[in-house]
Amino acid sequence: MSKAFEKAKELLEKQGTLSNEDVEKLVAEHGEINDDEKMWLEAEKLKKERASQESVTLEQYLEATKTLDSAEEGSEEYKKAEAIVEKYESGG
């Protein structure tokens, strides 16, 4: 494992995310990161992002579908309910 990869893992663990600028800085300071290491970092980053997002409960989803049936399309209430439904249906 490369030194830059080790530092990137530490930074990802500490911050919970890792930007391209962070990686570029680490590569400039400690050398290149190989493709397997890049894939691992990206997978961990996505896993942490998914874990940090709130999930939609079934109750929230059902309430939102009722709102979609009764609220005026395009209203703020409708848009919020639509976002909840889309998030739930996409696995969130």
Checking if the pLDDT of 92 tops 70, the result is no
Amino acid 64: pLDDT? 95
Q: For 44-75, how does the pLDDT look when each residue is reduced to its tens digit (9 = 90+)?
A: 988 887 777 778 889 999 999 999 999 999 89
**Does the predicted model carry a pTM greater than 0.75?**
no
Amino acid 81: pLDDT? 94
> H or E segment at 69?
helix 58-70
Checking if the pLDDT of 15 tops 90, the result is no
Measured between alpha carbons, how far is 88 from 79 in angstroms, rounded to an integer?
A: 14
Amino acid 8: pLDDT? 93
Measured between alpha carbons, how far is 85 from 57 in angstroms, rounded to an integer?
A: 10
From residue 4, give the alpha-carbon distance in Å to each of 10, 22, 27, 30, 79. 10, 10, 6, 5, 43
Q: For 21-51, how does the pLDDT look when each residue is reduced to its tens digit (9 = 90+)?
A: 999 999 999 999 999 999 999 999 888 877 7
Amino acid 56: pLDDT? 84
Amino acid at 57: T
